[in-house]
Structure 1
Amino acid sequence: MVFPNMQLKWTLLLLGLFLVSSESCEKGFDGKNGGCVDADECVTVPSVCGDHARCFNTHGSYYCNCNTGFQAATHNFTLETQCLDINECVEGKYECPGNTECVNTLGSYNCSCPKGYKPSRLDTDCEDEDECLSSVCGVHSSCFNTAGSFHCNCSPGFVKRENSTCADINECTVQHVCGTNAQCQNEEGSYRCVCNQGYSNYGNNQSKCIEMSCDHFKAESDTESASVKLNDLLALLRSSCESLRNANVSRKTGEQLLENVFNSTDELLSEGTIADGETLNQFLDAVENSMRLIGPQLKQPVTRMETHNTVAEVAVMRNQTPPSGRVNLSTDSALFGASWETVVGESYPGFAFAALVSYKDLTSSSGLLHKRERPDDEERGVSYQLNSKVVTAVVSNAETKQLSEPVMLIFTHEEERAESRGVSYSCVYWDADERVWSGRGCKKAESNSTHTACSCSHLSSFAVLMALYPLQDSFELVMITRVGLVLSLVCLSLCILTFKFCRSIQGTRTSIHLHLSISLFIADLVFLCGISSTHNQVGCGIVAGLLHFFFLSAFCWMLLEGLQLYRMVVMVFHTTLKHLYMYLVGYGAPLVIVIISAITYPAGYGTKRHCWLSLDQNFMWSFLAPVCIIVILNSFVFIITVWKLAEKFSSLNPDLSKLRTIKGFTVTAVAQFCILGGTWVFGSFLFYEKVTLFALYLFTIFNSLQGALIFIMHCLLSKPVRDEYYKLISRICSLQERRYSEFSTNHSSNSRQPLRSNPTSGESKI
């Protein structure tokens, strides 16, 4: 900067020189050696431009430039002009790397780290300085470092004062902090609840105390010697329970007690002493109560322990407020999932726990203990067995008989088998009152060959029960049925075309065969497409009704065939039946039976296993009774017909040609009756549970091939029909030959003819 007094001094000096030499030299020149020469103002007056500028002499004058980092206060530089410092940090004329900040200096600037940061090792950037490494917050507080700064929080049990120090909170002044069953004792930064006699908080000193009873660990006085180990386990649990009720008595930790309990259960399971329902009931009850005793005493949030025969996982939460969200536990054979709200229940003493215990060898011990879902299960040959490990699920909520939200259990199957017609799975729990596995309150959510998911509205000991039904629908039977029915449908369609359009065999008997084939064709088609459509109750009922009608219709047409043969053999005259009467018997009678059956018991059409008639209320007899009546009548008719036919053959002058025809009709009719009627006599009982495998295969083969057998008997073995087939094949072959001959002739003749133009259209024509 140029100080004003110095500037005035030099100005007066220059002015004096100018006055002395004004008469001889101009401004900016000095008179020397008799002449005027340029005066170097930058030498004569060294500070003429001030401290922050440089002087440049010119001919007869001079000028000043501000140094780097300075700028003139005014645009035109004069003696009064000053050079001012440039603030590069404000005007953006700086380059500071990383997160360093600009600091202005006289004529320049520096890049330095901001407060709360320090230079990094590379010296090109700044890193956060952890102030918490030094004791900046004092006692009873915790330091939390932040980017460029820090803050202090008082430790739990302390509150911050106005001078930023932390003071102890007296929690005992808070009403009901320990409840009414304990005395509150304040401690520095904390407190503890000392339970009254008979109450306990399971070692959770800051939790409310609840009443504690150890009576359920009392051993039975009349227990047999086989349950001595169980008595020892109950005695161990009772001793631990008593120690919790008395604060002055030393006790084992939760982890030690859990290990002791599992060692005792291992001995019980290994010795196989749990062989009856009473002992099993005591064992499961003891394990459940032991987990209620041990769970709250465990220190870790999740504890997992596995011994030789037992696996357990326990989750514990401790907080002033009830926990929320989901809790999931797993063992080697099961998964357990529930909400913490379900685990806690309506009252929350300050802690909550959930436990899942799995027994490795309990399945074999309790394999004979099962329930019968239906009274006739034993007659039906249904057997039950446990197909999973038995698990016990326990939560701190005391009210578990009806949970507000169902819990989920996923079991791993011991034997990998998918659900089928012969195997089904159900979710069961051990009913302590009835000493059986029961499914009440548990339902199967999903199942496959390896796992079953169960949803239960209560807690206890659970397992998956596998029901084994007599295998009826094997892969071989299904394939035989489907292939046979498809073949029958093809053959029946050929029969229908033959009986309808073959003129040489038209007559009453052919009409009967036609409608018999139509009834069986529709029945087989409906059977093939809809017998297993049990997912739709209405559709399944319609399928069962159609099968009922058309199978009855087929039997009625067989009855008409027997009557026609009887008239042909016994009643020589009137050998034909009127079509109206045949339709009334063949279609009218089955329709009346189906209508009456549907009105009487509509729920009888369709079952859970098949779209067929129900076994309830003897509804199956609406089909069996007409079939049996028709079979009995046809049996008598055929016996009389064969007897009369034998008499005619033994007469002196028989009409051999006519008798042979009647004989052929009779043989085919009897064969047809034996195949169609005979199979349905025992096949009608197929849908009952108790049926032999031989009858099952026999019925499946003959019933699925009915159409093929009818085609063989009434078409291929009939000479008139074979002659008609031969004529039809000959016509087709001759027609093909004629078409081929005409095509060859036309092609050869046309190839020799020139193209002719169409006079009207101008198109080429052959």
Structure 2
Amino acid sequence: MPWANDSDLANYGFLMQLQEAQLPTRVEFILVRLTLVGVGLSVVGALLSVFLVCYVPVRSDALFSICNMCIALIGAQLAFAGAENAFPEKIMCKFSTAALHYLFLSMHCWAMAFSIHLVMKLFRILHGKRAKRRFVLVLTGWVAPMVVVATTAVLAGDGYGDQRLCWLSVDNGSQWAFVGPVCFTVTFNVLVLVTVLVVQYRHDVKKDLAGGQIVKNALSSIITQLPVTNVTWLLGLAPPSYYAIQYLFVIINASQGALILTCHMLCSSQIRNLLKTRFQGVEMAEGQKQNGQGQQLSKSNSTGGTQSLEMDIVGEGLKPVRFTKKGNES
């Protein structure tokens, strides 16, 4: 069959669809416009998030993961915005599909790397060995998706660049090379989030906090971590005929960078305080270094008073799990 890719900019929903479907013209028009607006907001939000991480000197593995996740997201969404318009040639569409596959998959793998960081921090795995921790995170975020894409290209090369869209083919099942890893990473992230909430609840109860404060801490953890669990990507598995779910999927996931900026950056009191201090040009008072929530603000004299932020983004007030020699939590 001759090459016949003549698609306009696709909506975000096709990335997770497991069956071919032709949406009504009106629905497709709305989804495409929502995608354009969401991608624009997301790229801006992700860029600002990366800027904040670079502007605020950070030693945290958490923000290291978030920064890389935002970089992958920026690349994926910029590639997405151009993939369906500029490649009438089949070979270029295949290259575009491979790039999209790798970048979107890398974004999800960096979300899983963030959860791996939480596990290592909670259970003190590789404690004090930052280089090894970063190696594990980079291996998860950048190398693992490369292996998946290379394997898919070898086993199902013809599935790259569908007849209608520059994406994995639904007909030969190569779409599962993206949907499968996404489901795995989301499941892992949700399990880690539940573990975090349980540990935090036990920690708060041990501190004899009021019920309202316990609920507040739990909500804070959920709001902070939800944008990087990617759980909303599972909405894309709904049948295409469920238009309301399709709208929700596109609105939330196309604007993911903006959600990360809002929930993970701007809602962080530590980042806000440090930015306020830097904008005002005032040294952080010694008594402010410890804010009582398990997170530290410290100064680096080697950079002329530049402050560095050691963040424990596991929800407000959560501390690492510690074990006695008998294996009991202390």
Give the Cα–Cα distance (whole angstroms) in 2 for the partners of residues 535 and 703 of structure 1.
27
Q: Which residue of 1 aligns with 2:256?
A: 706
Distance 1:502 1:645, change over 3 A: same
Give the Cα–Cα distance (whole angstroms) in 1 for the partners of residues 83 and 7 of structure 2.
18
1:663 deviation in Å?
6.2
Contact 1:605 / 1:611 at 8 angstroms: preserved in 2? yes
Contact 1:534 / 1:610 at 8 angstroms: preserved in 2? no
**1:557 matches 2:107:** no
Give the Cα–Cα distance (whole angstroms) in 2 for the partners of residues 536 and 572 of structure 1.
49
1:696 equivalent among 227, 230, 246: 246
The superposition leaves residues 97-121 of structure 1 with CA deviations (integer Å, 9 ceiling, x where unpaired) of: xxxxxxxxxxxxxxxxxxxxxxxxx
The superposition leaves residues 129-169 of structure 1 with CA deviations (integer Å, 9 ceiling, x where unpaired) of: xxxxxxxxxxxxxxxxxxxxxxxxxxxxxxxxxxxxxxxxx
Distance 1:528 1:639, change over 3 A: same
Q: Structure 1 unaligned runs (5+)?
A: 1-418, 422-467, 732-766
**1:484 matches 2:38:** yes
Distance 1:715 1:560, change over 3 A: same
**1:497 matches 2:51:** yes
1:543 deviation in Å?
1.6
The aligned runs of 1:14-93 (5 Å cut-off) are none
The superposition leaves residues 424-469 of structure 1 with CA deviations (integer Å, 9 ceiling, x where unpaired) of: xxxxxxxxxxxxxxxxxxxxxxxxxxxxxxxxxxxxxxxxxxxx95
Q: Aligned with 1:711: secondary structure?
A: helix
Q: Which residue of 2 aligns with 1:647?
A: 202
The superposition leaves residues 712-760 of structure 1 with CA deviations (integer Å, 9 ceiling, x where unpaired) of: 01221112222343345446xxxxxxxxxxxxxxxxxxxxxxxxxxxxx
Give the Cα–Cα distance (whole angstroms) in 2 for the partners of residues 420 and 564 of structure 1.
40
Higher helix share: 2
Give the Cα–Cα distance (whole angstroms) in 2 for the partners of residues 596 and 617 of structure 1.
15
The superposition leaves residues 299-326 of structure 1 with CA deviations (integer Å, 9 ceiling, x where unpaired) of: xxxxxxxxxxxxxxxxxxxxxxxxxxxx
The aligned runs of 1:527-676 (5 Å cut-off) are 527-533=80-86, 535-571=88-124, 574=127, 578-652=133-207, 666-673=221-228
Q: Aligned with 2:206: secondary structure?
A: coil
The aligned runs of 1:209-608 (5 Å cut-off) are 469-471=22-24, 474-503=28-57, 505-533=58-86, 535-571=88-124, 574=127, 578-608=133-163
Q: Aligned with 1:610: secondary structure?
A: coil
1:587 deviation in Å?
0.6
**1:681 matches 2:272:** no
1:531 deviation in Å?
3.2
- One-letter amino acid of the structure 1 residue matched with residue 35 of structure 2: T
Contact 1:499 / 1:506 at 8 angstroms: preserved in 2? no
Higher strand share: 1
Contact 2:7 / 2:164 at 8 angstroms: preserved in 1? no
Give the Cα–Cα distance (whole angstroms) in 2 for the partners of residues 685 and 588 of structure 1.
30
1:590 deviation in Å?
0.1
- One-letter amino acid of the structure 1 residue matched with residue 168 of structure 2: L
Q: Aligned with 1:612: secondary structure?
A: coil
Give the Cα–Cα distance (whole angstroms) in 1 for the partners of residues 136 and 7 of structure 2.
47
Distance 1:681 1:664, change over 3 A: closer
Give the Cα–Cα distance (whole angstroms) in 2 for the partners of residues 540 and 512 of structure 1.
30
1:652 deviation in Å?
4.9
The superposition leaves residues 675-732 of structure 1 with CA deviations (integer Å, 9 ceiling, x where unpaired) of: xx2232232567xxx442122211111122101100001221112222343345446x
Give the Cα–Cα distance (whole angstroms) in 1 for the partners of residues 171 and 69 of structure 2.
30
- One-letter amino acid of the structure 2 residue matched with residue 500 of structure 1: C
- Give the TM-score taking structure 1 as reference length: 0.31
Give the Cα–Cα distance (whole angstroms) in 2 for the partners of residues 511 and 571 of structure 1.
18
- Give the TM-score taking structure 2 as reference length: 0.69
1:494 deviation in Å?
0.7
The aligned runs of 1:727-742 (5 Å cut-off) are 727-730=277-280
Q: Which residue of 2 aligns with 1:336?
A: none
- One-letter amino acid of the structure 2 residue matched with residue 711 of structure 1: L
Contact 1:534 / 1:608 at 8 angstroms: preserved in 2? no
- One-letter amino acid of the structure 2 residue matched with residue 536 of structure 1: E
The aligned runs of 1:76-225 (5 Å cut-off) are none
1:474 deviation in Å?
3.1
Distance 1:420 1:572, change over 3 A: closer
1:533 deviation in Å?
4.2
1:566 deviation in Å?
2.5
The superposition leaves residues 236-292 of structure 1 with CA deviations (integer Å, 9 ceiling, x where unpaired) of: xxxxxxxxxxxxxxxxxxxxxxxxxxxxxxxxxxxxxxxxxxxxxxxxxxxxxxxxx
1:667 deviation in Å?
2.8
Give the Cα–Cα distance (whole angstroms) in 2 for the partners of residues 496 and 622 of structure 1.
28
Identical pairs, percent? 26
Distance 1:469 1:573, change over 3 A: closer
Contact 1:604 / 1:619 at 8 angstroms: preserved in 2? yes
- One-letter amino acid of the structure 1 residue matched with residue 251 of structure 2: I
Contact 1:534 / 1:606 at 8 angstroms: preserved in 2? no
Q: Aligned with 1:630: secondary structure?
A: helix
Larger radius of gyration: 1
Counting matched residue pairs gives 257
Q: Structure 2 unaligned runs (5+)?
A: 1-5, 9-20, 282-330
Distance 1:518 1:713, change over 3 A: same
Q: Aligned with 1:535: secondary structure?
A: coil
Cα root mean square deviation, aligned: 3.1
